[in-house]
Structure 1
Amino acid sequence: MPDSKPNARTAAVPRSAAEAALADGTGATLRRALWLDALDQQLRPLLPPGMAGHCRLANVSGGQLVFVTDSPVWRARLRLSETQLLDAARSVGLNPTAVIVKTTTGPLQPPLPAKTAPPLVSATARQAVSDALASLQESAPLDSSDPGAPAPGSSSGRST
């Protein structure tokens, strides 16, 4: 068919889910969340000792760093470390002027799922189940031509 036009559509390579999410209108929000997470990962090691597990960078707004803590005690300790936080933020390329600290009512990190341990079975219980299975196998009739006939050695219910 020399008159037919070549197919104008070419085989498109499918995009990954991340690429598709970043390309949509919500891409800017997702990119900002990823940037904040990367910035949090950079600032966390620069925090005073013991504080990294109790606080998280929540936002950078204008010249303000917004941190979230999991209790009022850590909020107070973070406020006392404001100059160290500002210096740490400047070391990663930001130019903050203030630190805002908020306290959350829930945990900063989702709780890990509880591991369910397999039930412990004692050696006695295993032996009892093994004995029960063995006794069931011994009492099963080996050659039974009549399925309704009683097993050999069992009484038929009549006395002679």
Structure 2
Amino acid sequence: MQQRRPSRRSSASTLVPAAECVSLDALADRARALNLLDGKLRHHLPDALARECRLADLRNGRLVFLATSPTWATRLRLHQATLLAEARATCGDAVRLFVVKVAALPPVPPEPARSKPLSATAASHLRSAAKTMSDPELQALYLQLASLASSDSPPEA
């Protein structure tokens, strides 16, 4: 007869109330700090290598990087002394260990698309449309939008 193993379900007593968790502000601050450190450290790497790795974490004296393949991880380890020295200079002497893990890198958010400037002709049409509107709030919105036109737009007729 086979013995039944106890279930590994978490009990209610192991759940932590949301109020006791790290605040979103603290989490965002940590993410910003890691992002800045990542840029600073990868600046010391060759461009090809910098594109294939990212700083994942800095905790308990461990500097953890992610690399996209074992090959890139090996190449990153060749720069271990430089990265540790720069991390120590930035974060203090508590940084002792260098760890590289092979994993897919998180996607980098694209740069926001630059909007095309509003042409003088479009601004003129918006002003003309605003003159025909009876709703003053909507008319103000059209005029505000027309004011975003490039500085070489003709003055209102």
Structure with a larger share of its residues in helix: 2
Tell me the TM-score normalised to structure 1 length. 0.48
**Rg larger for:** 1
